[in-house]
Structure 1
Amino acid sequence: MGLTEESNQSMATDFILMGLFSHTGPHLVLFSLVAATFTTGLLGNTVLLFLISTESKLHTPMYFLLTDFLQGGGSVSFGGYAAQMFFLMLMGISEIVLLSLMSYDHYVAVCHPLHYPMLMRHQVCLLMVGTSWFSGVLVASVQTSITLHFPYCASHTVDHFFCEVPSLFKLSCADTSAYELALSVSAVMILLLPMSLIAVSYGHVLAAVLHMHSAEARHKAFTTCSSHISVVGLFYAAALFMYMVPGTYHSPQQDNVVSLFYSLITPTLNPLIYSLRNREVRVALVKVLGRGGFRSKR
């Protein structure tokens, strides 16, 4: 191997993210829209977490489990890219596992309401949360270390707006086909196993609802589960497209749009889906606002 080839296959020290708006015209307008959406989601989730922590009536398994660019591109160091990739995967896998475990919570609430306090006691909730975080750390550690082990000797420009595993494969000068296949297979396991638990849980819930004679009971059960199903649909559909469909079947532009769903749209909709449609949260919000107004008058 000559000196030129050795230098070409040297480890990259920087990557350049093209950003979300590199292929569009009105950058400022689109940036303002995304920034406003992100701010709305951040404020909404902050308010929701505050209500859950301050209102004792919301200290239930359902809510306990829940708590838990103006320019076209920017340079990101190799270490920065690795860190962002790790934490993104950590949060994503943890959410995948936690969403599936939350379906069990709804199954117990609808199908075994009398045993709910025992089956969903505090220790069980802690175990669920711990399992989700452990799964995220394990998968993120393995996949990040393997992905960054490949040499990146071609262009260091990543046609994406954040650091994600599939977008980096296209830059490697090594043959990544075997690992891409392994990633797809692992994605099947990581996504389909939780989806199976969700399907089984809601299959039992549906059967229980169909046997209910009271229209009010059926409506209450539907309201309890519909919020979670909405989040699962948005989050899982995007994740399935990104990690189970081979990269040759979707373009970088499609990746950007799909990634928006689980990185921005779903977190923004969480407060709306989980709180405004829930009477207990609305009552807690009115109570907190009432306390604030009373104190200001005093």
Structure 2
Amino acid sequence: MQSLDKKNHTAVSEFILLGFSSESQVRMVLFTFFLLLYLITLLGNGLIVSLIYLDSHLHTPMYFFLSILSLVDMSYVTTTVPQMLVNMIYPRKTISWGACLAQMFIFLVLGIAECVLYAIMAYDRYVAICFPLHYSILMNRSVCIKMVILCWSISIAGALIYTIFTMRLPYCGPYKINHFFCEVPAVLKLACADTSFNDKLDFILGFILLLVPLSLILASYVRIFASILRIRSTQGRLKSFSTCASHVTVVTMFYGPAMIMYMRPGSWYDPERDKKLALFYNVVSAFLNPIIYSLRNKDVKGAFLKVLGNKKTAR
């Protein structure tokens, strides 16, 4: 039986991504909607990266991490959305075994990086608000670079564990993934083997990669809010609350659906709900990040107006 499983596993050459509705009219509406959403996401995040690079006033730890978050978001949606758009147009919705493996790994690396980045950004705000006089020392260039290296190290290690333990299982058909990309829970449903070990592993990894960063974020913001309440100036309190509120909003949008997806028992699998959840923490959060961080941020708006002013002067 084991040899048969291995034979079937090695015979897998491609999967079929079922995606969303099979009706042509619905597919075209969804294609137009997600194409616009994707282009706006790239434009918004690309604009933030460009402004931070061009304006020396934004060369601070907070904006350094924000620029990395924007780059991660652009890469994050590019891992899944173009494949989804192609599958909405062409009737053949296949993805090769190798491409599915690569998509799963890259998606996980970027998703885990986003989790860790949110925690780093929360710590940055904690130091800025609770220890303003020591901020330049505690968050110097060397510390920021080490944090980013740690972020990517954790992301790659976590993604490797997820991917290896998912793709090592035998897949004996049918090879139809009821999702719009190769995500771990959807792919595991096709395995013709006991996946209880994977369920336990996914829960443990979810605890380490989701709950631990979330706990650090919550701990940081408890201290932040306590410090804000001690600020005598009403204007100062409002400004601090405004800065923190944007971060809390983004964190809630991302962590909620991700925890439901990766920390629930395998028996709770619901493909239609999972597709909506994946859209939320993959596409919607990446779309909203630049809006939340830029529209409520005077520094970013000032940098944008400055760039526009320089262009008009040059003309």
Question: TM tier, shorter chain?
Answer: over 0.9
Partner of 2:128: 109
Partner of 2:231: 212
Which has the larger share of helix?
2
**3-state SS of 2:57 partner:** helix
Question: CA offset at residue 185 of structure 1?
Answer: 2.0
Question: CA offset at residue 150 of structure 1?
Answer: 0.3
Partner of 1:135: 154
Which ranges of structure 2 fall in alignment gaps of 5 or more residues?
A: 69-84
Partner of 2:167: 148
Question: CA offset at residue 250 of structure 1?
Answer: 3.8
How many residues are aligned here? Answer: 296
Question: CA offset at residue 178 of structure 1?
Answer: 1.6
Question: Distance in 2 between the 1:255 and 1:102 partners?
Answer: 28
> Judging changes above 3 Å, is the alpha-carbon distance between structure 1 residues 2 and 269 closer, same or farther for their aligned structure 2 residues?
closer
Question: Distance in 1 between the 2:136 and 2:253 partners?
Answer: 30
Partner of 1:175: 194
- Report Cα offsets for 1:246-270 as digits up to 9, x if no partner: 2322410001000011211011111
Q: Name the aligned partner's letter for residue 66 of structure 1.
A: L
Question: Distance in 2 between the 1:289 and 1:73 partners?
Answer: 45
**3-state SS of 2:15 partner:** strand
Question: Distance in 2 between the 1:11 and 1:36 partners?
Answer: 38
Question: CA offset at residue 11 of structure 1?
Answer: 3.8
Partner of 1:30: 30
**3-state SS of 1:26 partner:** helix
Q: Name the aligned partner's letter for residue 172 of structure 1.
A: A
> Judging changes above 3 Å, is the alpha-carbon distance between structure 1 residues 73 and 113 closer, same or farther for their aligned structure 2 residues?
farther
**Is the 8 Å Cα contact of residues 258 and 281 (structure 2) preserved in structure 1?**
yes
Question: Distance in 1 between the 2:110 and 2:261 partners?
Answer: 16
**Does residue 1:239 correspond to 2:258, yes or no?**
yes
Partner of 1:287: 306
**Is the 8 Å Cα contact of residues 5 and 170 (structure 2) preserved in structure 1?**
no
> Judging changes above 3 Å, is the alpha-carbon distance between structure 1 residues 75 and 216 closer, same or farther for their aligned structure 2 residues?
same
Partner of 2:50: 50
- Report Cα offsets for 1:171-205 as digits up to 9, x if no partner: 00011112112211221121111011111100101
Instruction: Determine which of 237, 243, 246 is the counterpart of 1:227.
Output: 246
> Judging changes above 3 Å, is the alpha-carbon distance between structure 1 residues 262 and 214 closer, same or farther for their aligned structure 2 residues?
same
**Does residue 1:59 correspond to 2:78, yes or no?**
no
- Report Cα offsets for 1:204-225 as digits up to 9, x if no partner: 0111112222101101111121
Question: Distance in 1 between the 2:242 and 2:2 partners?
Answer: 66
**3-state SS of 1:16 partner:** strand
Question: CA offset at residue 141 of structure 1?
Answer: 1.2
Instruction: Determine which of 203, 207, 218 is the counterpart of 2:222.
Output: 203
Question: Distance in 2 between the 1:89 and 1:116 partners?
Answer: 32
Question: CA offset at residue 7 of structure 1?
Answer: 5.3
Question: Distance in 2 between the 1:30 and 1:152 partners?
Answer: 30
User: TM-score, normalization: structure 2?
Assistant: 0.89
Question: Distance in 2 between the 1:277 and 1:67 partners?
Answer: 16
**Is the 8 Å Cα contact of residues 210 and 259 (structure 2) preserved in structure 1?**
yes
Question: Pairwise CA RMSD of aligned residues?
Answer: 1.8
Q: Name the aligned partner's letter for residue 41 of structure 1.
A: T
Instruction: Determine which of 296, 301, 304 is the counterpart of 1:277.
Output: 296
Q: Name the aligned partner's letter for residue 194 of structure 2.
A: D
**Does residue 1:166 correspond to 2:190, yes or no?**
no
The more displaced of 14-23 and 283-292 is 14-23
**Does residue 1:88 correspond to 2:128, yes or no?**
no
Structure 1's consecutive aligned runs of 4 or more residues displaced over 2 angstroms after TM superposition are: 1-11, 20-25, 69-73
Q: Name the aligned partner's letter for residue 136 of structure 1.
A: S
**Is the 8 Å Cα contact of residues 19 and 73 (structure 1) preserved in structure 2?**
no
**Is the 8 Å Cα contact of residues 62 and 105 (structure 1) preserved in structure 2?**
yes
**Is the 8 Å Cα contact of residues 15 and 175 (structure 2) preserved in structure 1?**
yes
